């Protein structure tokens, strides 16, 4: 009698194994495949975390609670960014965001680079936007009323193709630290 129960139990376990083991193997293969796909998209695709469209106040300026570096696009020039304002990733080392990972925008779509900080120094010459490995175009800075926002744009109004670095002082009066942003113009 005990052997009959054992045989039924073993038979039930064997049927369970025939169903569950292939399902577990399939799940393991699926997880492995998804992790390979994630690695592929992170390494081969554009770094979408290096920029993001953000809501803008009237006049295509960053909201008061958003600080950092932004690209101000001409309204409707890039359908990826309906608000025409793109926040750039901040780093403390230039060159972290490579040319292939930086935001690529058509030069005709860009109006200005915006720096939004708690305070903008009166000496706006410390705020620089320059192309990498090219002669820098002459830039014009415009400190907006309130002293929190600075617009930087080429004097000619034309953004030449290339990779750009935005170099901004980040400390106070006695702090010489800087932060950097990057974007590319096609």
Range of the domain at 146: 48-185
pLDDT of residue 125: 81
> What are the per-10-residue average pLDDT scores of the chain (186 residues)?
70 83 92 80 54 71 85 87 87 79 88 89 84 85 88 91 89 76 90
* DSSP H or E segment with residue 9: helix 2-44
Number of structural domains found in the chain: 2
For the residues of 147-186, what is the DSSP string, one character each? SSEEEEEETTS---SEEEEEEEE-S-TT---EEEEEEEE-
Q: Are residues 58 and 145 in the same domain?
A: yes
pLDDT at 44: 58
* Spatial distance between the Cα atoms of 140 and 127, rounded to a whole number of angstroms: 10
| Residue 108 sits in the same domain as residue 30 | no
Using the 3D structure, point to which of 45, 61, 78 is the last residue of a domain: 45
The verdict on 130 and 60 lying in the same domain is yes
Is the model's pTM score more than 0.85? no
pLDDT of residue 48: 47
CATH number at residue 171: 2.60.40
SS (H, E, C) 128-143: EEEECCCCCCCEEEEE
């Amino acid at each position: 009698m005990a052997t009959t129960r054992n045989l039924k139990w073993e038979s039930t376990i064997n049927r369970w194994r025939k169903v569950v083991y292939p399902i577990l193997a399939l799940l393991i293969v699926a997880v492995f495949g998804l992790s390979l796909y994630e690695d592929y998209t992170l390494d081969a695709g554009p770094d979408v975390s290096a920029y993001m469209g953000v809501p803008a106040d009237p006049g295509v300026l960053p909201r008061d609670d958003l600080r950092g570096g932004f690209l101000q696009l001409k309204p409707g020039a890039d359908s990826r960014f309906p608000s025409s304002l793109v926040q750039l990733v901040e780093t403390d080392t230039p060159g972290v965001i490579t040319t292939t990972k930086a935001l690529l925008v058509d030069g005709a779509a860009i109006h200005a680079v915006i720096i939004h900080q708690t305070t903008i120094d009166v000496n706006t010459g410390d705020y620089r936007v320059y192309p990498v490995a090219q002669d820098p175009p002459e830039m014009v800075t415009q400190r907006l009323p309130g002293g929190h926002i600075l617009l930087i744009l080429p004097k000619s109004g034309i953004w030449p193709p290339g990779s750009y670095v935005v170099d901004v002082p980040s400390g106070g009066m006695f702090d010489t630290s800087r932060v950097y942003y990057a974007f590319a113009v096609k």
